[in-house]
Amino acid sequence: MNYTEVKELISIINSSVLTNFELTMDNVSIKMSKNKDVAAAIQPAEVSAPIVPKAPAVQTVAQAPVAAPAMEEAVLQQPKVPEEQRGNVVKSPIVGTFYAAPGEGKAPFVKIGDKVQKGDILCIVEAMKIMNEIDSPYDGEIAEIYAENEQLVEYGQPLFRIQ
């Protein structure tokens, strides 16, 4: 299991309703847990320590060393969006594979210059064999498409710019 797969797994579990998850494959063991209701259950008068922001706890035990330079390369390869460009940027909500069209040989969902409305399908991001339709959160015109078909995209990576 590589860094990208672990990161994708964390993203999926974090956005799910699961509170505990364990996976053991080959020489890797991953345990994740999250508790969204702890802060709501504690009364303010009973708090004696600062409340830590909610985030999934991740423990990774591996016998093989993790290559840190490979992780840095993945971060550096994400496209940068120039700040002087106007419009709204649609970012990937998950890690996965970007698909511009519903199938091979079919027309893309959108192309540069297309008018879109809130709720229109912009693309599909496949994560662990699940096809996730990415809808437009904005009304406007597609000004740029940052990802290429079948490209691996990261969480928060810009996909489209809508003016």
How do the domains of the chain map onto residue ranges?
Answer: 3-74, 87-162
Higher pLDDT among residues 107 and 86, named by residue: 107
User: Which string of DSSP letters, residue by residue, matches 65-104?
Assistant: PP-HHHHHHHHHTSPP--TTS-SEEEE-SSSEEEESSSST
7-32 mean pLDDT: 75
pTM: 0.49
| Residue (of 85, 87, 64, 162) closest to 122 by Cα position | 162
What CATH number matches the domain at 87-162, 3.90.1150.10, 2.60.120.40, 1.10.10.10, 2.40.50.100? 2.40.50.100
How many whole angstroms separate alpha carbon 5 and alpha carbon 19?
A: 19
Q: How confident is the model at residue 157 (pLDDT cuts 50, 70, 90)?
A: very high
The confidence score (pLDDT) of residue 161 equals 94
Per-residue pLDDT at 8: 79
More confident residue, 82 or 162: 162
For position 125, what pLDDT does the model report? 94
Question: Which residues is 2 bridged to in the sheet?
Answer: none
Span 28-63, pLDDT tens digits: 777 777 765 543 444 444 444 555 555 555 555 555
Residue 19 has pLDDT above 50, yes or no: yes
